Structures are given as structure tokens and as C-alpha cells.
């Protein structure tokens, strides 16, 4: 399927009521020369530039649309004179080779939600649901209203880089009688000794990841997805997360987590030659079902950070736990954030400067038989426990072509002796098969549900 990541030039039929920014600024370079905060996009820089120009042209040519060009649902809106900011105008495409929300840069706001099919709902109801969800995702990602009963929550905000991503859990295949189509890769994750998992907040038949650079846009999408579920599926669990707001700082480009570390430095980059084979299922993997071509497997872990404990450590001790400097993310062996870590370097006493159990040492692909994953997390904060402990941490979402070769291999290693493990607690877990993007006229998962 062709890469359809470029939006079409707006026509009266496809126009949104939301105005475009005159020109979105080019993203500042991240450590890899791409923007870590905005497009860590799989689009080529040329395409991305073309897209920005297109969006810019729309603004420049006065495409500030009112009732005449309105999308359904906002048809009675008065003419809109206020152009969107570059944040509001950011737009991810729905009809793309790989579902949106995997290679895009981190978004400021995220919702993860798992659903279980209702009693009596099977393959037919699931297909109808995925069709409704896909249409809602397509519309909202384009900055349009929902097809019915839009709540108006996001009407002034533009797409704000909204992405909606859909996945299937192991139990989905039993519920729908599609056991023969269940990927082997969806076999349950092994238990790890450090797990403190809450089953009620783990797994689920269906999983939806929503991300946007505006909190109202993200909530609007969450609510629409929930309402679309109707009587076919009910929410099993739901989690809210956040990242730094785009534009808040030009440097560092790599986001920080709630422990204060720069997190994401060594993520695989779309520009690397083995990126696709590490992250996405090929058409002919020999082990995945055909409907998973161009898809990926998402491992989701709610990892609480034991911040009271962590924050008592000295800066030096914190840096030894990770093996990188807190201020600039550079390896303890020296240089800048992107300087290759020297695993052999010793100090005057002959001790390794990057300790043997440092998190950034033991998670490296070259320490794990090449295992790699694309980490795309959200931080979370769900309030403060009665004893004053913050319920905060990382909604760790990682993407890979093979979860056993990726997440499981690395987590097994971490379980055996990661310096970070005494400062975190894995509280919930999910593994989902995320099919490739829907072609025009298709819905996500159609190749599974209508095979």
C-alpha cells in the first residue's frame, strides 16, 4: 500500500471548519538530527516539509472556513477568523502504511483505554465497532467533528497532532472465534519477579491509544471512542498520561521523565536501515498472520516510580543507577547525549565508570542479542496516596515486530539485576497486536475481521 501520509489539498468536501496555521515552524533538531519532540516521524523530511507547506498554503490562501466548507457536525458554525497556532494545526494522517501513534513524536497528552467485548458480542459486532472507531479517528485526526452528536469540546483547537491507534489483545480472538488468526506473538508475557500486576488494569480484548498536543482534543477523542463502543464493548481500564508541551523548550529535545532523566535518547530512529524490521511486521514474516503485515506489537506497562525513595539519592547515585548524566543525558563515560557509551572505561580506581547494573548499559541491544524496541511513553500522575506517596510514573509503551525478541528479552535482563528496579514497580501490563494502517475506504483490522 502506498504511503498516504500526505494530506490531500482540501476540497469543499474534505475541509474542516478549523483554520490552518499560516506556517508551522520547522522542528528543531534532536540528538539524531531529527526532532525528538515533534516529528520523530517516519515521513521523509522532504514529505514532511511538503506537508507543512501544504498546511501553510491552506492558511495563506485564506482557507479559514465557515459554514460553506464545514464538515458534518459543525455545519452551522459561524465563519472562523482566528487561525490555529502551529500546535493546533499539527496533523497526522489516518490512512497510512503503519497506524498513526507509533513513529510520531511524543504528544503532550495521552489516554490509554482497554475495552472488553460485551457478553454476546462477537466478530460481527467487533467489525462494526472497528468501522465506527476508524471513521471517528479519521475525522477527528483531520480536525473534523464526529459524525453524530459532536460534543464541541475540541471545536476551536484543530487536530493538534491527534493520533488514535487500535490494537487487539489475546482474549479478542477467543471472544470472536478467530483463534486461528491469533498471532503466536500474543502469547501471554512471562511473569517477572518484580511484577506487582493488577489484573483488572491489565490486558483486555481491545486497546486504544489516543495522543494529542492538546488536552481537550485528546479528551474529545477519548469520549467519542467510548461513546462509539455503545453496547458492543465496555471499558476495562483507562489511564491518562502526559509529556512536555511542544514548544515549551527548544533544548533539550529529548523529553524528561518524572525522575528527571532524559528518556528516549537511544530510541531506534526511522532513518536507520533496520528500523522497519525491528519495529514493524513484514508482509512475509513466516510466523505472523497475513493481517498483521505492516503492524506492530505494543507492550504497555504502568510503571510506578517510587519517587520518595528515588529523590533521596544524591545526584551521583542517581546517575550511577542509569549510567547517564542527568543534566544532559550524556553517558558517564563522557561526551554529549549522542556520544557512544564507552562500556570499558574505568576511573582512577579501576572501576567501570558505567556500572555493570546501570539501566542504560544493560538495556542496550548489543547486551541483549540485538533486542530493540521503540519506546513511546507518557508520564502519569494519578494523585497522592493517603500516606503522601505520589501515584506517579511512566505509562511505558514500547513497539516492536516481535515482543519476545524485544520487550521480553530486555525485561528478563532487567529482572535479573537492574539498578533502577528498586525505584520502580510494574503495576499493570498489556500486550496488543496493532495491525497496519487502514487503506482508504478500509477500517483498521478489516483484513482480520473480514478475512
Ligand X SMILES: C=CC1=C(C)c2cc3[nH]c(cc4nc(cc5[nH]c(cc1n2)c(C)c5CCC(=O)O)C(CCC(=O)O)=C4C)c(C)c3C=C
Residue entry with cell 487502514? 438
Shortest distance (Å) from residue 412 CB to ligand X: 9
Give me the active site residues, please: 263
Which residues of this chain interact with ligand X, rule CB under 6 A? 257, 259, 261, 263-266, 301, 303, 305, 322, 324, 359-360, 363-365, 373, 393-394, 396, 407, 410-411, 414, 424
Shortest distance (Å) from residue 303 CB to ligand X: 4
Say if CB 257 and CB 304 are below 8 A apart.
no
Sign of CA dihedral 5, 60, 49, 158: negative
Shortest distance (Å) from residue 193 CB to ligand X: 14
Say if CB 354 and CB 345 are below 8 A apart.
yes
Say if CB 100 and CB 164 are below 8 A apart.
yes
The span from the CA of 55 to the CA of 7, in Å, is: 9
Q: What is the DSSP letter of 367?
A: G
Say if CB 137 and CB 94 are below 8 A apart.
yes
Shortest distance (Å) from residue 420 CB to ligand X: 6
Cis ω before 68 (30° cut-off from 0): no
C-beta closer to ligand X: residue 59 or 406? 406
The span from the CA of 380 to the CA of 450, in Å, is: 37
C-beta closer to ligand X: residue 181 or 261? 261
Shortest distance (Å) from residue 362 CB to ligand X: 8
C-beta closer to ligand X: residue 143 or 406? 406
C-beta closer to ligand X: residue 74 or 423? 423
The span from the CA of 20 to the CA of 155, in Å, is: 13
Shortest distance (Å) from residue 364 CB to ligand X: 4
Of residues 434, 272, 294, 286, the one with CA closest to residue 2: 294
Shortest distance (Å) from residue 189 CB to ligand X: 11
Q: Which residues of 187-208 are buried (b: 16+ CB within 10 A; e: fewer)?
A: eebeebebbebeeebbbbbbbb
Question: Measured at the alpha carbon of residue 235, what is the angle toward residues 102 and 446, in degrees to the nearest 5?
Answer: 50
Give me the DSSP letters along 248-295: S-SS--SPB-TTS-B--TT---TTSTTHHHHHS--TT-SSS-GGGTT-
- Residue ranges of alpha helices (H) inside 5-69 are 45-60
| Residues 6+ away with beta carbon under 8 Å from 39 | 27, 48, 104, 105
Q: What is the DSSP letter of 439?
A: P
Q: What is the DSSP letter of 176?
A: T
Amino acid at each position: 500500500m502506498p504511503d498516504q501520509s500526505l494530506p490531500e489539498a482540501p476540497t469543499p468536501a474534505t475541509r474542516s471548519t478549523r483554520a490552518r496555521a499560516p506556517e508551522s515552524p520547522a522542528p528543531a533538531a534532536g540528538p539524531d538530527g531529527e526532532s525528538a519532540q515533534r516529528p520523530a516521524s517516519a515521513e521523509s523530511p522532504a514529505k514532511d516539509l511538503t506537508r507543512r507547506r501544504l498546511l501553510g498554503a491552506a492558511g495563506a490562501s485564506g482557507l479559514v472556513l465557515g459554514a460553506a466548507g464545514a464538515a458534518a457536525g459543525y455545519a452551522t458554525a459561524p465563519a472562523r477568523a482566528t487561525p490555529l497556532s502551529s500546535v493546533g494545526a499539527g496533523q497526522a494522517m489516518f490512512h497510512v502504511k503503519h497506524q498513526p501513534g507509533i513513529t510520531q513524536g511524543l504528544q503532550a497528552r495521552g489516554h490509554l483505554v482497554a475495552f472488553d467485548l460485551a457478553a454476546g458480542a462477537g466478530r460481527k459486532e467487533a467489525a462494526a465497532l472497528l468501522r465506527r472507531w476508524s471513521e471517528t479517528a479519521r475525522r477527528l485526526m483531520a480536525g473534523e467533528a464526529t459524525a453524530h452528536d459532536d460534543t464541541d469540546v475540541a471545536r476551536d483547537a484543530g487536530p493538534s497532532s491527534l493520533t488514535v491507534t487500535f490494537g487487539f489483545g489475546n482474549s479478542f480472538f477467543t471472544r470472536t472465534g478467530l483463534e486461528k488468526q491469533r498471532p503466536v506473538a500474543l502469547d501471554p508475557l512471562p511473569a517477572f519477579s518484580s511484577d506487582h500486576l493488577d489484573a483488572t488494569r491489565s490486558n483486555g480484548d481491545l486497546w486504544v491509544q489516543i495522543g494529542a498536543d492538546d488536552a481537550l482534543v485528546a479528551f474529545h477523542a477519548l469520549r467519542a471512542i467510548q461513546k462509539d463502543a455503545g453496547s458492543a464493548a465496555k471499558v476495562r481500564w483507562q489511564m491518562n498520561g502526559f509529556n512536555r508541551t511542544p514548544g515549551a523548550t527548544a533544548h533539550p529535545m529529548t523529553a524528561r521523565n518524572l525522575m528527571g532523566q532524559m528518556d528516549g535518547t537511544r530510541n531506534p530512529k526511522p532513518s536507520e536501515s533496520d528500523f522497519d524490521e525491528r519495529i514493524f511486521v513484514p508482509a512475509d514474516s513466516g510466523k505472523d498472520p497475513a493481517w498483521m503485515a505492516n503492524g506492530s506489537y505494543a507492550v504497555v506497562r504502568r510503571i510506578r516510580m517510587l519517587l520518595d525513595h528515588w529523590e533521596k539519592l544524591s545526584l551521583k547515585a542517581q546517575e550511577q543507577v542509569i549510567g547517564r548524566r542527568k543534566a544532559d543525558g550524556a553517558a558517564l563515560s563522557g561526551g554529549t547525549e549522542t556520544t557512544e557509551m564507552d562500556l570499558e572505561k574505568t576511573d582512577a580506581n579501576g572501576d567501570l565508570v558505567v556500572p555493570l547494573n546501570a539501566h542504560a548499559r544493560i538495556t542496550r541491544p548489543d547486551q541483549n542479542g540485538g533486542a530493540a524496541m521503540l519506546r513511546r511513553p507518557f508520564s502519569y500522575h494519578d494523585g497522592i496516596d493517603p500516606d503522601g506517596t505520589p501515584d506517579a510514573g511512566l505509562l511505558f509503551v514500547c513497539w516492536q515486530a516481535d515482543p519476545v525478541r524485544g520487550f521480553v528479552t530486555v525485561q528478563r535482563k532487567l529482572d535479573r539485576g537492574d539498578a533502577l528496579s528498586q525505584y520502580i514497580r510494574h503495576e499493570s501490563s498489556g500486550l496488543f497486536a496493532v495491525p497496519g494502517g487502514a487503506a482508504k475506504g478500509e477500517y483498521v483490522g478489516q483484513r482480520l475481521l473480514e478475512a
